[in-house]
Amino acid sequence: MKFITEKAQIVDSLQNAAAVAERRQTIPILANLRLKTVNGKLEVTATDLEIQIKTYSDLIEIQEEGETTVSARKMSELCRSLPEGENVNFSLSNGKLTVSSSNFHADFATISPDDFPEIEINEEQTPITVESGVLKRLLSKTSFSMASQDVRYYLNGMLLEIEGNKINGVATDGHRLAFSSATTNAADLDVRNILPRKAVLELSKLLSPNEGTVELLIGASYVDVRSENLSFSSKLIDGKYPDYNKVFPTGEPLPLEISKEILQSALSRASVLSNEKYRGVRFQLSENKLKLTANNPEQESAEEEVDVIYKGSELEVGFNIGYLLDVLNSIESETVSFEFYGEDSSCIIKEQNSEDDVYVIMPMRL
């Protein structure tokens, strides 16, 4: 294998693949990237046996076809540190991969690509075309609410639901829930799959907001996402996702509207003096006023009153500050809409005049 490239052509490809490679190295080759010349491009593959990524990069010249595997971390870090705009030569000889530019030379150890465990999908998959930006938005609007290492393994991921021409993303850790919805061209489909946490986080970084369309291929055990220069495969979590509709509170809502920026600033200040373990903040609502109170075991406290639009009855309810800030960071509108249902009920948070993204946060006893 022998080819010439420029740093800018391959650096993103190597870094994206390195993020998927298995860092713990229980099987040494899983810490490697497979580099292979294919149809005038460099194919970079990484896998942890649960998810797999293939990226394709243009090259200046291929002098000799071939393939090898090399340390993902070392190769991505090295290429990132090379000078901009300089040609880089890759050459495989006697089990060593040589990388050189005008003033630099490095030899990498390799492992035979024959041992590289590529995921092979042998099941029927339903193809759906989705805008790359739509799928990226769906993932990024919900991913922060996924559980991490929960014994309820089906919560350690995101529910991808396709109903007719609607595609929904749902994530919950049992204390909060994020729901995001968009329209697709998928007709008469009814699919519910759980994407693993790592796949969701990596995909949300890989997808471009303005790349055009990607092909989503959904099967019983795997999902694939493909675009011109990307092929991403992931095992699905085998389990039944809970009925998230039961999480939405019912009854007559008490609506409140507030500036996102004002609330973010007030919560950031309150968090400084909140209990470090529970991070609670008390909301005290009265007509057009919201009083925020936080305190901690050291008898320290913070209190702030902000103007809001609220006409409902007086109400006192506690929430986790971190959960509120996560939602506010995800919201794009300048004004945020809250719906309260009582001091023992969850609250709903939405962007102003939008039903596409809905967030539910359970109350805390303070």
Pair (18, 43) in one structural domain: yes
Pair (204, 293) in one structural domain: no
**Radius of gyration (C-alpha) of the chain in whole angstroms:** 25
Q: Domain count of the chain?
A: 3
Last residue of a domain, one of 224, 246, 268: 246
Residue 121: inside a domain: no
* Residues contacting 75, CB < 8 A, separation 6+: 14, 18, 33, 99, 108
Residue 331: inside a domain: yes
Residue 366: inside a domain: no
Pair (185, 274) in one structural domain: no
- Give the residue-averaged pLDDT of 94-120: 95
Confidence of residue 24 (pLDDT cuts 50, 70, 90): confident
185 pLDDT higher than 90: no
Pair (270, 356) in one structural domain: yes
* Residues contacting 277, CB < 8 A, separation 6+: none
25 pLDDT higher than 80: no
Last residue of a domain, one of 90, 115, 140: 115
Question: Phi and psi dihedrals of 357, rounded to 5?
Answer: -125, 120
What number of other Cβ atoms are within 10 A of residue 264's Cβ?
A: 16
Look at residues 56, 62, 60 and name the one whose alpha carbon lies nearest to residue 3: 62
Measured in whole angstroms, how far is the alpha carbon of residue 82 from the centre of its chain? 29
Pair (154, 225) in one structural domain: yes
Pair (32, 65) in one structural domain: yes
Q: In this predicted structure, what is the pLDDT of residue 278? A: 92
Q: In this predicted structure, what is the pLDDT of residue 187? A: 64
pLDDT tens per residue, range 123-151: 999 899 999 999 999 999 999 999 999 99
Q: Are strands 61-64 and 67-71 parallel, antiparallel or unpaired?
A: unpaired
**Is the Cβ–Cβ distance between 183 and 166 less than 8 Å?**
yes
Confidence of residue 23 (pLDDT cuts 50, 70, 90): confident
Residue 172: inside a domain: yes
Residue 45: inside a domain: yes
Pair (62, 160) in one structural domain: no
Distance, CA of 109 to CA of 56 (rounded, Å): 23
Look at residues 169, 136, 200, 144 and name the one whose alpha carbon lies nearest to residue 324: 144
190 pLDDT higher than 90: no
Confidence of residue 11 (pLDDT cuts 50, 70, 90): very high
pLDDT tens per residue, range 255-292: 999 999 999 999 999 999 999 999 999 999 999 999 99
Residue 71: inside a domain: yes
Distance, CA of 191 to CA of 121 (rounded, Å): 19
Percent of the chain at pLDDT above 90?
90
- Give the residue-averaged pLDDT of 351-357: 91
Pair (95, 180) in one structural domain: no
pLDDT tens per residue, range 200-258: 999 999 998 888 899 999 999 999 999 999 999 999 999 999 999 999 999 999 999 99
Confidence (pTM): 0.92
Residue 70: inside a domain: yes
Top-confidence residue, 68 or 365: 68
Distances 236 to 130, 264, 355 between C-alpha atoms, Å? 19, 36, 28
- Give the residue-averaged pLDDT of 191-199: 96
Average pLDDT, the chain: 95
* Residues contacting 207, CB < 8 A, separation 6+: 132, 133, 135, 136, 139, 214, 225
Domain of 185, CATH number, reads: 3.10.150.10
Pair (269, 181) in one structural domain: no
pLDDT tens per residue, range 87-104: 999 999 999 999 999 889
Helix ranges (H only) for the chain are 7-20, 72-81, 132-142, 197-206, 260-272, 321-330
Question: Phi and psi dihedrals of 173, rounded to 5?
Answer: -115, 15
Pair (48, 130) in one structural domain: no
pLDDT tens per residue, range 302-312: 999 999 999 99
Q: In this predicted structure, what is the pLDDT of residue 186? A: 66
Pair (242, 252) in one structural domain: no
Pair (241, 134) in one structural domain: yes
pLDDT tens per residue, range 30-56: 999 999 999 999 999 999 999 999 999
Last residue of a domain, one of 231, 246, 261: 246
* Residues contacting 306, CB < 8 A, separation 6+: 258, 262, 263, 266, 289, 290, 292
Q: State both tokens at 348.
A: 């709903």
Confidence of residue 164 (pLDDT cuts 50, 70, 90): confident
Top-confidence residue, 187 or 363: 363
Confidence of residue 156 (pLDDT cuts 50, 70, 90): very high
Q: One-letter amino acid identity for 254?
A: L
Residue 120: inside a domain: no
Range of the domain at 101: 2-115
